[in-house]
């Protein structure tokens, strides 16, 4: 049998090994292959030589980030174990074609990696499946000292060297590559690539049995509060309902762990008051959890009736002091902060005396069962900017309501991964540190975390580009980014749809030159055939008499964002049959 995987625009054939081809070595666990020392004690930097020049990672910095030996870290939906080794002991593999025992079934292989060649390094490897079929993959690792901070899993504040410690960011990365759907992995052949180091490897398991009901994207790492011994009560609006629930907290972009003391879920009554007593969530059987820098935490499955198209209250106590956190800034929904104390179990709103208008830390709510989800990757129009606050009139909410009110196609969950100000090819948030800019890293850089890693994603809609064009990017740059996103989604088996960019004449930056570039992007989206189908949102809201501008009835007044009527028109124009994989 011949299997073919599409990877970033090229094909790698996957074939069974010829009968006469001997394996160079039987597969063994990765830790038995460790042949390099990356981590040193700060007082004894000579213990390690990660890069061949005596430089290494700081054990103290790793501990401060929560990356302690043997710790299981969930990053981009994949569970990876930081090597259980003391400073000065071999803790990673220099990729040279080693044969690694890895088992499991899922959508992707996840590698915890870094390069030490001064630039991105990579090569091709092979996955062997139960039964003998094979597929190829390409793995690239950014450099540990110069790679992009936007895509790092964690950044550490120092580099240890024999001459002393340097105040320089050391980066580690989680990189995923697709697997053949439905097959069980038996082993992995690493690439033969000088300077590519692998610390951990696992199969990102398929999220069978869960449907994403609500999600939001982290736009940056912002100053908050500060909150000490406070409880946050966040209001979220579901799409799909179900008999079980789990929630996800993301400590994305963080430099330090965050502690969740206790967390609960409840159906909302009004304001910060719950309908009934909030139900406790657990994490690995414990009441709370500590989330390492850059990692995620899923609550344990909980029997709880999640209403479709309803409001939930997710409450969590922060027993320590939190001065900065991963945040989705533009919630268009009021949430609440309590007076001092653990008020997660309060049904009453009495203790919740402060209002916030973003979503810190909380990133997802999944429900048991269901048909899977549709993920909407976008900017401020998808985020709901200029829609009525507390009314759930974003176009993804209206789309979710349409799905719930019909029976022609499955009632998919709808996940809104819009970020106000986001761009396709350029990072707004720098990817590291506390920043007032919460417009996120580029769609290219967040695509794995915000789309591919979402539970039971079936179809993705990409609706971005106007911010790139308004700030000087060319149509060809946006098209190249959209083409790469489509290829990456197709390689993971997603149905990929694109929406045309809305007209915006009258907004300061939407000049005639920008409109010409917009028209070029839209023509490519409509005619290229790169995406599986097109949602022609431009045609829905444009003024026939002046196609470069929005119809006044749909314009919120700023000429860039539709108001409630325009957002409803976008959602109402979607042929729901296009969402079916």
Structure confidence at residue 549 (pLDDT): 98
- DSSP class per residue in 380-415: HHHHTTTSPTTS--SHHHHHHHHHHT-SSS---EEE
Q: Quick check: 372 and 413 in contact, CB under 8 A?
A: yes
Predicted pLDDT of residue 18? 34
Banded model confidence at residue 207, pLDDT cuts 50, 70, 90? confident
Tell me how far apart the alpha carbons of residues 528 and 498 are, in angstroms, rounded to a whole number: 11
Q: What is the pLDDT of residue 17?
A: 38
Q: What is the pLDDT of residues 218-274, one digit of tens each?
A: 999 999 999 999 999 999 999 999 999 999 999 999 999 999 999 999 999 999 999
pLDDT for res 145: 98
pLDDT beyond 80 at 277: yes
pLDDT digits (tens, 9 = 90+) for 371-413: 999 999 999 999 999 999 999 999 999 999 999 999 999 999 9
In the chain, the percentage of residues whose pLDDT exceeds 70 is 96
The fold of the 371-581 domain, in CATH, is: Rossmann fold (3.40.50)
Burial class (CB in 10 A: 0-12, 13-18, 19+), 116: buried
455-463 mean pLDDT: 96
Cα separations in angstroms, 348 against 229, 231, 306, 354, 546: 18, 13, 20, 14, 52
CA 31 to chain centre: 28
Q: Find the mean pLDDT for residues 29-35.
A: 98
Residue 24: band (very low, low, confident or very high) from pLDDT cuts 50, 70, 90:
low
Average pLDDT, the chain: 95
The predicted-structure confidence for 538-554, as pLDDT tens digits, reads as follows 999 999 999 999 999 99
Please determine, for residue 2, whether its predicted confidence score (pLDDT) is greater than 90: no
What is the β-pairing status of strands 546-550 and 542-543? Answer: antiparallel
Q: Are strands 220-237 and 335-338 parallel, antiparallel or unpaired?
A: antiparallel
The closest alpha carbon to 197, from 261, 278, 274, 140, belongs to 140
- Check pLDDT > 50 for residue 82: yes
pLDDT at 206: 72
Say yes or no to pLDDT of 11 above 50: no
How confident is residue 47, by pLDDT bands cut at 50, 70 and 90? Answer: very high
Round to whole Å and give the CA distance between 375 and 364: 12
Q: pTM for the full model? A: 0.95
Q: With beta carbons less than 8 A apart as the criterion, state whether 384 and 567 touch.
A: yes
Whether pLDDT at 19 is above 60? no
Q: Kindly report, residue by residue over 305-356, the tens digit of the pLDDT.
A: 999 999 999 999 999 999 999 999 999 999 999 999 999 999 999 999 999 9
The DSSP line for 163-211 is TEEE---EEEEEEEEE--TTPPEEEEEPPEEEEEEEEEEEEEE--TTEE
Question: What are the structural domain ranges in the chain?
Answer: 3-205, 217-369, 371-581
Give residue 22's pLDDT band: very low, low, confident or very high (50, 70, 90): very low
Average pLDDT value for residue range 111-127 = 98
Reported as a pLDDT band with limits 50, 70 and 90, residue 25 is: confident
- pLDDT confidence of residue 226: 97
Reading the block at residue 97, the tokens are: 């074609």
Residue 147 has pLDDT above 90, yes or no: yes
Q: What is the pLDDT of residue 15?
A: 35
Other Cβ atoms less than 10 A from the Cβ of 54: the count is 15
**What per-residue confidence (pLDDT) applies to 13?**
37
∠ CA 26-89-111, nearest 5°, is: 55
């Amino acid at each position: 049998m011949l299997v073919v995987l599409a990877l970033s625009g090229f094909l790698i054939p996957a074939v069974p090994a010829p009968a006469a081809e001997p394996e160079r070595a039987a597969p063994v666990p990765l830790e038995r292959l460790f042949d390099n020392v990356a981590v040193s004690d700060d007082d004894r930097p000579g213990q390690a030589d990660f890069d061949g020049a005596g430089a290494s990672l700081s054990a103290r910095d790793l501990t401060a980030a929560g990356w302690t030996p043997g710790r299981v870290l969930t990053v981009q939906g994949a569970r990876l174990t930081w090597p259980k080794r003391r400073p000065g002991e071999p803790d990673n593999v220099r990729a040279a074609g080693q044969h690694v025992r890895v088992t499991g079934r899922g959508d992707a292989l996840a590698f915890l990696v870094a390069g030490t060649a001064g630039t991105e390094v990579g090569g091709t490897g092979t996955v062997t499946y139960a039964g003998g079929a094979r597929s190829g993959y390409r793995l690239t690792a950014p450099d540990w000292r110069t790679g992009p901070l936007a895509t790092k899993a964690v950044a550490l504040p120092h580099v240890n060297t024999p001459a002393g410690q340097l105040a320089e960011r050391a980066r580690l990365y989680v990189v995923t590559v697709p697997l053949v759907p439905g097959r069980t992995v038996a082993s992995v052949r690493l690439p033969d690539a000088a300077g590519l180091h692998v610390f951990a490897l696992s199969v990102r398991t398929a999220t069978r049995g869960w449907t994403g009901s609500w999600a939001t994207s982290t736009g940056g790492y912002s100053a908050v509060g500060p909150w000490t011994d406070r409880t946050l009560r966040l209001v979220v609006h579901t799409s799909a309902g179900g008999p079980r629930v789990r929630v996800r907290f993301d400590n994305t972009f963080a430099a330090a762990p965050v502690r969740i003391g206790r967390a609960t879920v409840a159906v909302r009554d009004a304001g910060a008051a719950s309908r009934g007593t909030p139900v406790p969530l657990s994490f690995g059987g414990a009441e709370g959890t500590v989330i390492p820098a850059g990692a995620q935490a899923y609550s344990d499955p909980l029997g709880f009736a999640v209403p479709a198209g309803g409001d939930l209250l997710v409450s969590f106590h922060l027993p320590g002091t939190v001065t900065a956190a991963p945040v989705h800034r533009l919630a268009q929904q009021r949430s609440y902060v309590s007076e001092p104390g653990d008020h997660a179990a309060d049904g009453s709103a009495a203790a919740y005396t402060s209002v916030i208008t973003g979503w810190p830390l909380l990133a997802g709510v999944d429900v048991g069962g269901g048909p899977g989800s549709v993920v909407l990757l976008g900017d401020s129009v998808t985020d709901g900017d200029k829609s009525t606050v507390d009314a759930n009139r974003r176009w993804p909410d209206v789309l979710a309501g349409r799905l719930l009110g019909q029976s022609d196609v499955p009632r998919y969950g709808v996940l809104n991964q819009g970020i106000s100000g986001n761009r396709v090819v350029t990072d707004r948030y720098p990817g590291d540190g506390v920043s007032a800019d919460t417009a996120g890293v580029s769609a290219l850089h967040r695509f794995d975390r915000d789309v591919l890693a979402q539970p039971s994603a079936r179809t993705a809609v990409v609706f971005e580009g106007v911010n790139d064009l308004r700030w000087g990017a060319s149509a060809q740059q946006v098209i190249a980014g959209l083409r790469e996103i489509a290829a990456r989604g197709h390689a993971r088996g997603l149905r990929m749809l694109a929406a045309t960019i809305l007209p915006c004449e009258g907004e300061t930056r939407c000049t005639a030159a920008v409109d010409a570039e917009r028209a070029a992007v839209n023509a490519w989206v409509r005619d290229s055939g790169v995406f599986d189908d097109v949602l022609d949102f431009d045609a829905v809201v444009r003024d026939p008499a002046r196609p470069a501008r929005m119809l006044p009835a749909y314009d919120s007044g700023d000429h860039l964002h539709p108001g409630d009527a325009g957002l409803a028109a976008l959602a109402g124009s979607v042929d729901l049959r296009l969402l079916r994989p």
